[in-house]
Amino acid sequence: MVRSIRKLLQQWKNEGAIKFVAFSSMGERAFCAGGDIHALATQPGFAEVFFREEYHMNFEIATYPKPVVSLLKGIVMGGGVGISVHGTYRIVTEKTVFAMPETGIGLFPDVGGTHFLPNVCPGAVGMFLALTGTRLKGGDIVAAGIGTHLVPVASLAQLQHALTHQRQPAAACNLQDIISLFSASSKSNASESANPKPSATLPLQTQRPLIDKCFSLHTVPAIVRALQNCAKGEEEAEQRWAEGVLATLNKKSPTSVQLTFEALRRNGKIPLPAALNIEYRLGVRIVNRGKAGDFYEGVRATVIDKKSTPHWNLPPSTAEVEDYFAPFPKDFHVAELDL
Catalytic residues: 35, 79, 102, 110
- Taking alpha carbons only, the member of 278, 306, 301, 280 closest to residue 291 is 301
- Whether residue 295 contacts residue 46, with contact meaning beta carbons closer than 8 Å, is answered with no
- Eight-state DSSP code of residue 292: G
Between CA 230 and CA 306 the distance in angstroms is 33
**Burial class of residue 119, CB neighbours in 10 A (0-12, 13-18, 19+):** middle
- Taking alpha carbons only, the member of 65, 100, 68, 108 closest to residue 84 is 68
- Whether residue 202 contacts residue 190, with contact meaning beta carbons closer than 8 Å, is answered with no
Between CA 2 and CA 35 the distance in angstroms is 10
- Eight-state DSSP code of residue 286: H
What is the per-residue DSSP string for 49-88?
Answer: HHHHHHHHHHHHHHT-SS-EEEEE-SEE-THHHHHHTTSS
